[in-house]
Structure 1
Amino acid sequence: PPRACDTYWSEFWHCKSLVNRFHHYYTYGTTPSCHQWKEDYYNCREWEKSRSTETKEALQRSERKRVAEQKNFDPVWELRCEPPKDWNLPLNQDNTEDS
């Protein structure tokens, strides 16, 4: 499997924690859905027991979906290709604004 089975279980319990639920509700206005973590855990355990291709494919689909969802978010900072032209000039510290 892509991850250790205990990792799925830890993610499930983190998702169900009161702190995470509060944070998710405050941020998004809804409670988080933890069902996929639990399902992935059971699929992982099943794969360890039987090595069936169906459960392995289910885990891989779930991981691919997670990676695709992470790529939907734009970075907070705009990355630049080169430093600013005046990066080595001294800072203008005399320009203070006293209101």
Structure 2
Amino acid sequence: MEETTATEKTDENPFMWLVRPCSIYKEEYSDCTSIKGRFHQYFIHGSTIDCAQWGRDADNCVRWEENKDAKALESLIESERNRRTGRLETYIKNDVMTLRKSPPEDWNKPLPGWMQEEYKTSYLALKSVEMKSGNVEDKGKLCTIL
């Protein structure tokens, strides 16, 4: 019977997609411990939160990336699953709204007349006409919102 290496064993982990790049964990830790982050935490939660988990995740990620440490990977995946569960908890416990099984029957009906009139002079309509005519100016700058 052949022994499988840690790399072979962990690359088959079905939750590998949860693991983020190590730079993200370091950035999250840095943001969490910054003055701005602390002020935000105090404003939102009423007190500062514990940022140690982001630091542990950054360390585990580095150990996984550099040494293929299976325990570090498992710890990282467990942390991500806990974080995801916490984020989805309020959605799952929501008993106020009932989720739809299908879209409304009239989801694609025409917009009201007043809205169509407003659309004719909107920036979106002007850009749409410009693009359809092929007169698009390429300014070489793009805006990325993360």
State the TM-score, normalizing by the size of structure 2.
Answer: 0.51
Match of 2:80 among 45, 56, 63: 63
**In structure 2, what residue type is equivalent to 1:27?**
I
Find the counterpart in structure 2 of residue 44 from structure 1.
Answer: 61
Find the counterpart in structure 2 of residue 12 from structure 1.
Answer: 29
Where does structure 1 differ by over 4 angstroms across 4 or more consecutive aligned residues?
78-81, 88-91
RMSD: 2.5
Report sequence identity in percent.
Answer: 33
Shift in Å, 1:73: 2.5
Higher helix share: 2
Match of 2:89 among 58, 72, 78: 72
Structure with larger Rg: 2
Please, which runs of 5 or more residues in structure 2 have no aligned partner?
1-15, 115-146
Q: State the aligned residue count.
A: 87
Distance in 1, matches of 2:73 and 2:60, equals 8
State the TM-score, normalizing by the size of structure 1.
Answer: 0.73
Please, which runs of 5 or more residues in structure 1 have no aligned partner?
92-99
Find the counterpart in structure 1 of residue 125 from structure 2.
Answer: none
Match of 1:21 among 14, 38, 50: 38
